[in-house]
Amino acid sequence: MEDVLTMISRLKRPTLLVRTARHGVQDYNRVVHLRRLLKTEVLPGPGQAIVRLMELEAVSDQLRAAKRSEYSVARHVEMIVAMMCEARILKASNASKASREPVQLPI
């Protein structure tokens, strides 16, 4: 199975949605936004959150493409913002773990 960061990088969404989401990144509050989007009290780790957000976002994207009346552009943008931010958290976490691993020196 692909890692979640690769899965996100392969998503193709309209430029306007992505640009709009980039403006919301600075205001992202993981506790508030992720709880509301995932409808949960217990927050998952960033990798798990990304997978769940991608599932929800895929449904929103299908509604958008089908021009369904229940489609909410605001909710769709919120999901993309959350995915972007969770990806940043995951990347930072991975970098932090890599920097803490002992370095093997040649003998």
Tens-digit pLDDT profile for residues 12-47 = 999 999 999 999 999 999 999 999 999 999 999 999
Cβ(49)–Cβ(34) below 8 Å:
yes
**Closest alpha carbon to 11 in 75, 71, 76, 94:** 76
Q: How far is CA 102 from CA 92, 93, 97, 105, in A?
A: 18, 16, 10, 9
- Phi and psi (nearest 5°) for 32? -70, -55
Q: Is the dihedral of CA 80, 39, 44, 62 positive or negative?
A: negative
* pLDDT, position 104: 60
92 or 98: which carries more pLDDT confidence?
A: 92
